[in-house]
Amino acid sequence: VVCRDGCIKAVGQADVIRNQFSGATFERIIDCSGKCVLPGLVDAHTHPVWAGDRVHEFAMKLAGASYMEIHQAGGGIHFTVEHTRKATEEELFDTFKHRLERMRRAGSTLVECKSGYGLNLETELKMLRVIERAKQSMDIGISSTYCGAHSVPKGKTATEAADDIINNHLPKLKELKLSGEIHVNNIDVFCEKGVFDLDSTRRILQAGKDIGLQINFHGDELHPMKSAELGAELGARAISHLEEVSDEGITAMARAKCAAVLLPTTAYMLRLKQPQARKMLEEGVIVALGSDFNPNAYCFSMPMVMHLACVNMKMSMNEALAAATINAAYALGKSDTHGSIETGKQGDLVIINSSRWEHLIYQFGGHEALIDYVIVKGKVVYQNERCGTM
């Protein structure tokens, strides 16, 4: 039972609920006989605001070019930055809205959304305004992330870029937050060899934390950088990627209750070694999942991400579901309101046309026929037109 305020009023056996609410009237009743009701899925890592897709680079990847080779040839992030800088706010909002709708149809009810294809203050703010607009106008939860340190802008060193972010970008974000124009939740840095080193990363993350942002950053993806150790030391809420994390980093993250946001799509598409999900789980790390939707990993579907996590990272289906719901909500600082079906939490639900919830993971790419309803704050935001016929 979801109340008019969008929160879950009661959870329990059908006959108990019927007795408890025998005198109540409801705006809508959904018959879920033979179906499964799951928490809305949470996508803990996406880059969904940009112009300029990179479909042409896919052939280069298939021919063996590495991520950094494409990056150094003027492709990768810089190609998208160029197109995003030229795009109008309206153009960016239209494509962003379309992408969020596709994520929602695949069961995502809370999505982390990053900036990061501007690399200058003007474009980063343009992206953050687009995210803010979607927060206000769309029926989907959004956790916004400032990722101005996604790459080092052309013509600058990493130190110069870090100085610009600390002295210009972050004070402006603080000012816009105080005026109520833009509310950013997290700060992100791409801590990587040839991008932002450990020292620059530390400075930016600490400056973000000082203005009230949660630390949630890219670390240990292509090279071991000791990002996990740094995140644990700084009190990071989450670190993403971690394909090259050290044993010491895993231990530090477990101790600090810092979530690991694993991205099986990225490792799959870039043919990287898979993150050590099993070792992290055994050490007590809070493991979450994200789609890493971006021009380099074009995936909207958390059910497909869960499937890849099970097959390629050896997670169980129970672990993958927890990682795509309650643990992903934890990685965004939202596990008190999202990620599980409990009284008092937000009424975000996915109803699937199967008596076994495992079908959501088992059917690779089958979510379009399987998901009957997606519900956000008790409101049906997606209903499959073939609902009930499968």
Average pLDDT, the chain: 96
Q: Which domains, and CATH codes, for the chain?
A: 41-332 (3.20.20.140)
CA gap 340, 342 in Å, rounded: 6
CB-side exposure of 390: number of CA atoms within 13 Å?
Answer: 17
- The DSSP bridge partners found for residue 149 are 189
The mean pLDDT of 268-288, rounded to a whole number, is 96
On the question of pLDDT at 185 being above 60, the answer is yes
pLDDT tops 70 at residue 382: yes
273-280 mean pLDDT: 97
389 pLDDT exceeds 60?
Answer: no
Task: Give residue 74's pLDDT.
Answer: 77
pLDDT exceeds 50 at position 66 = yes
State mean pLDDT over 129-144. Answer: 98
Q: Per this entry, what is the length of the chain? A: 390
Please say if the pLDDT value at position 2 is more than 60: yes
pLDDT tens digits for range 325-345: 999 999 999 999 999 999 999
Q: How far apart are CA 230 and CA 58, in angstroms?
A: 33
- Centre a 10 Å sphere on the Cβ of residue 284 and count the other Cβ atoms it contains: 13
Question: Residues of the chain with pLDDT > 90: what percent?
Answer: 89
**Whole-prediction pTM:** 0.96
Angle, alpha carbons 132-138-141 (nearest 5°): 75
Mean pLDDT of the 169-198 span: 97
Q: Tell me which residue of 133, 221, 213, 227 sits closest to 169, measured CA to CA.
A: 213
What is the pLDDT at residue 69? 86
- The pLDDT assigned to 390 comes to 45
Asked if 143 contacts 334 with a C-beta cutoff of 8 angstroms, the reply is yes
